[in-house]
Amino acid sequence: MQPPAVLAIHGGAGPASPDETDGGAARWPGQAAGLGAALRAGLAVLADGGPALEAVIAAVMVLEDDEHWNAGRGSALTAAGTVEMDAAVADGGDRRIGGVACVTGVRHPVLAARAVMEDGRHVLLSGAGAEAFAREAGLAFEAPEWFIIERRRGALADWLAGAGGGTVGAVARDRDGHLAAATSTGGRNGQLPGRIGDSPIPGAGTWADNAGCAVSATGIGEAFLRAAFAHEVDARLRLEGVDLATACQEALAAVTAAGGNGGCIAVTGDGPPVMPFTTELMHRGWAEVGGSLWVAARPGPLERLETE
């Protein structure tokens, strides 16, 4: 019997909110509801027998529009006070992948990444060239101010030297066993203009191969780049022959060795997703088609979201 279609999402890994005295607990109900909305959007695709690729994109689009997360609206600010976003999508069926880096104004960077992938000429486009490509593809744009929320302005000073977090992502397995991954981020607060993290980079923050696994990562992007993280997960699964949880743990150890921390969500052609992290928090959730929605931020068991 074909394993059930499944979707997992994340809203970033990082320390327990350094900008709030309650550790961010007051924000959790809203974040949990946001994770639930993203899960439902992706599950609606999978329940209709739709492809994993469309499911991860649908989930990430909801998270990009939700200002709780560091992607789309609500993105982190660069050292210049601007928003520069990165995103990627990966289709495990034919190992196609597309990404955009340092784009401004594109409402849904994940759609720009898909447009790059489907166009097929290139894998990765950046900056003004990527924006021109997205306009040509007919994607929606918003004014630069639309992306900037007050909390990020306040956070900029606190976070200038600090950790990132809040990147969003999704991995899915559809009814036909195809895998897909998507990741979208506003980068790190206070990053230099032009900085590209792991999120849009094939094999670093995003990867999908039906023969291996689908992975979306979050954390200190520089360390994930230095560890070639997502491809390391796939390589350990495929070449070392360990299980998915072990592969993720070993690849996260390489991230630690590279001076960073974070987490990931990952899924193979069988079994539930895994969602390990080495930070205090990783906002995350998952569900099977027809099953309960499970979400959490702290380590330990997930909580079941009430059915709407």
Q: Give the binding site for its own copies (CB under 8 A).
A: 95-97, 101-102, 121-130, 132-133, 191-197, 201-204, 207, 221-222, 225-226, 228, 231-232, 235-236, 239-240, 257-258
* Least distance (Å) between residue 106 CB and its own copies: 12
Nearer to its own copies, 34 or 221 (CB): 221
* Least distance (Å) between residue 177 CB and its own copies: 19
Nearer to its own copies, 228 or 274 (CB): 228
Nearer to its own copies, 98 or 285 (CB): 98
What tokens appear for 141 in the block? Answer: 């744009």
* Least distance (Å) between residue 257 CB and its own copies: 8
* Least distance (Å) between residue 249 CB and its own copies: 15
Active site residues: 167
> What span, in angstroms and rounded, lies between the C-alpha atoms of 169 and 266?
10
Nearer to its own copies, 128 or 245 (CB): 128
> What span, in angstroms and rounded, lies between the C-alpha atoms of 164 and 185?
10
Q: Please check whether residue 42 is in contact with residue 273, taking contact to mean a CB–CB distance below 8 angstroms.
A: no
Burial class, 113, CB count within 10 angstroms (exposed 0-12 / middle 13-18 / buried 19+): buried
DSSP reduced 3-state for 19: coil
Q: Please check whether residue 65 is in contact with residue 180, taking contact to mean a CB–CB distance below 8 angstroms.
A: no
* Least distance (Å) between residue 294 CB and its own copies: 31
Size of the chain, expressed as the number of residues it contains: 308
CA dihedral 125, 162, 165, 217 (to 10 degrees): 60
Nearer to its own copies, 5 or 196 (CB): 196
From residue 247, alpha-carbon distances to 33, 104, 169, 176, 262 in Å are 30, 35, 19, 24, 15
From residue 237, alpha-carbon distances to 9, 56, 128, 147 in Å are 21, 22, 37, 38
